[in-house]
Structure 1
Amino acid sequence: MRHRKHTFKIGRSGAHRRAMLANMVSSLIECGEIKTTLVKAKEARRLADKMITYGKKGDLHHRRLAISKLRDETAVKTLFDKVAPSFLERKGGYTRIIKTGTRVGDAADMCILQLVQDSTAPAKPAKKVKKVEKAQEPTVVETPAVVEASAEAKAE
């Protein structure tokens, strides 16, 4: 029986599934977001969150674990040097899934899997708006229109 086995098979063998997920997470780390099906994104999110947690720990042992899972040393270097330090204050939930509708050919649910980096960036201080005191303009007294009409009549 397959009870309590929480993984998506995605219609692939075990080796094919691991290779596909490693490639997806490597692309996610390098590009910041990927467009894929919903089921693949949910499974890739699990692996991506584990890899970012490895990156936050930062020691040699966890670097080697990440290399064994992702099989791409440039992605692991990017993960440990750039991505993981931006998540030091965050305890989890490093990725988000945004649903984008269905694919035209087979109506598969599509989504965008992206790293959540905008909310962890330090807030920029608001610029202080300097109030420029306007020089008081001289008030112009306008004469009523009746006076102007009489002036025109005299001019003729």
Structure 2
Amino acid sequence: MPTPTKGPRLGGSPAHERLMLANLATSLFQHGKIKTTETKARRLRPLAEQLITKAKRGDLASRRRVLTVVKDKDVVYSLFDQIAPRYANRNGGYTRIVKTGPRKGDAAPMAIIELVEELQVAEPKANKKTAGRKAAQQDKVEALAPADEAPQSRPADQDAEAPQSVSGDTVAARKDSDEATENKA
């Protein structure tokens, strides 16, 4: 059983607090950012991050768990299909709290809680060393393959170009350079 929150609840009973946080989470996912008191924003942050983490899983059980908190099916759909994929490479820290000035009527400290915008999903860059190693491995495989198992060639009426390596050298150019190095030795 979860440990109850110490101190006063936000607005009354624990049930009212849960409903209020669920409504704040719904508004956050619907609009991307909301302005609320600093205390409510701090209480909302862990709940919103847990819901996004569940949405990243994307399975039916996670969708049902999120639906127990966020009652609006359109918001749940946008959470699973638009918001969660943006944070695929991020392990946490989906929200940001920015403090603003005090509220005019009662001087309560106000804050804006917003979803952190992930610009783009970064593609892993190919390493130059691994590309060179793969090309060398491919050359070894070609050299070790028997000639009778060579792939079927094109018909004679089609012009076939000489294969090129990753560096751009043709087979004939490589043979010439290999013979030149053998003659020097």
Structure-2-length-normalised TM-score: 0.61
Any idea what the Cα deviations from partners look like across 1:79-114, whole Å, max 9, x if unmatched?
A: 001000000011101000000010011110000000
1:114 — aligned with what? 114
Give the corresponding residue for 1:30: 30
5+ residue gaps in structure 2? 122-185
Secondary structure in 2 matching 1:16: helix
The structural deviation recorded for 1:11 is 2.9
Counterpart in the other structure of 2:43: 43
Partners of 1:58 and 1:89 lie apart in 2 by: 15
Q: Is the 8 A contact 2:38 2:110 kept in 1?
A: yes
Residue in structure 1 matched with residue 55 of structure 2 by the alignment: 55
Of structures 1 and 2, the one scoring higher in RCO (CA 8 A, sep 6+) is 1
Shift of 1:16: 1.3
RMSD of aligned Cα (Å): 1.8
1:5 is displaced (CA, Å) by 4.5
Query: 1:68 matched to which residue of 2?
Result: 68
State the secondary structure of the residue aligned to 2:99: strand
SS of match in other structure, 2:82: helix
Aligned counterparts of 2:113 and 2:32: Cα–Cα separation in 1: 9
SS of corresponding position for 1:76: helix
What is the DSSP-based 3-state SS (H/G/I as helix, E as strand, rest coil) of the residue aligned with 1:82? helix
Closer, same or farther in 2 for the Cα pair 1:41/1:15, shift >3 Å? same
Moved over 4 A (4+): 4-8
C-alpha separation in 2, matches of 1:53 and 1:122: 18
Q: Which residue number corresponds to residue 85 of structure 1?
A: 85
Work out the CA distance in 2 between the residues paired with 1:85 and 1:122: 10
Separation in structure 1 between the aligned mates of residue 87 and residue 120 of structure 2, nearest angstrom: 11
Which amino acid letter does the alignment assign opposite residue 114 of structure 1? E
2:159 — aligned with what?
none
Cα 1:116–1:51 shift into 2, 3 Å: same
Distance 2:75 2:12 in 1: 24
- State whether residues 86 and 120 of structure 2, in contact with CA within 8 Å, keep that contact through their aligned partners in structure 1: no
Aligned residues: 119
Distance 1:30 1:107 in 2: 27
- Tell me the residue number matched to 1:15: 15
Give the superposition deviation at 1:32: 0.3
Q: Percent identity?
A: 47
Equivalent position amino acid for 1:99 in 2: K
Query: Residues of 1 paired with 2:44 and 2:75: CA distance?
Result: 15
